[in-house]
Amino acid sequence: MSMMKNIVTGMIGCMALVFSIGSCGQQKIVKEKGEENLVFPKGEKITSNNFMGTVYLQNLMTADSINPTAVGNVTFEPRARTKWHLHPGGQILLVIDGVGYYQEKGQSKKLLYKGDVIKCPPNVPHWHGASSDKHFVQVAVTNRHLGETVWLEDVTDEVYNK
């Protein structure tokens, strides 16, 4: 597991370098005051009803016809979470800060820490978000070649607290 964490840490470092110098035609990411210790800026508050609580998104790379992969930095405040949802092309979550949860339908909730990596299989309903008392920051890598995210029902407090 520590080898995997070293690989993830290296990947995150490389991603930070790539994004900070604005390579591959991507815009340079400018951090706001107070975000100096973050890998990526917190971004804009999400107002979609697909999330419960306060969640922020910084798009790092948008999917297009050449590369159908979207990459986003998502920051969840304590107790914030997604709805149940699935990704037709799957998703990878890279945990870069805080403490969070991940759960697939029919499975136990997993506790996530900085350096953890989650591979969300295609078409498997799941949710993810912050723990009850800590923020949670993830880089979500979503392959959209088979379609957009399918949003399902809310994650109830009963499910969240279990």
For residue 116, which of 133, 135, 131, 137 has the smallest C-alpha distance?
137
Confidence band of 35 (pLDDT split at 50, 70, 90): low
Among residues of the chain, what percentage have pLDDT more than 70?
A: 78
Q: Please, are residues 61 and 69 in contact by the beta-carbon 8 Å criterion?
A: yes
> 0.85 cut: is pTM over it?
no
* Residue 91 resides in a domain: yes
- Write down the pLDDT at residue 109: 97
Look up the domain containing 69 and give its range.
31-161
Kindly tell me if the per-residue pLDDT of 108 is higher than 90: yes
Q: What is the number of structural domains in the chain?
A: 1
∠ Cα 120 4 113 (to 5°): 65
Find how far residue 88's CA is from the centre of its chain: 16
* Residue 13 resides in a domain: no
Backbone angles phi, psi at 6, to 5 degrees: -65, -40
Kindly tell me if the per-residue pLDDT of 117 is higher than 90: yes
* Residue 3 resides in a domain: no
Kindly tell me if the per-residue pLDDT of 103 is higher than 50: yes
pLDDT (mean) for 125-151: 96
Kindly tell me if the per-residue pLDDT of 11 is higher than 50: no
* Residue 100 resides in a domain: yes
Find how far residue 146's CA is from the centre of its chain: 19
* Residue 63 resides in a domain: yes
- Write down the pLDDT at residue 37: 73
- Write down the pLDDT at residue 23: 41
* Residue 127 resides in a domain: yes
Kindly tell me if the per-residue pLDDT of 105 is higher than 80: yes
Q: What is the domain-level CATH number for residue 150? A: 2.60.120.10
Query: How far apart (Å, rounded) are the C-alpha atoms in residues 44 and 23?
Result: 22
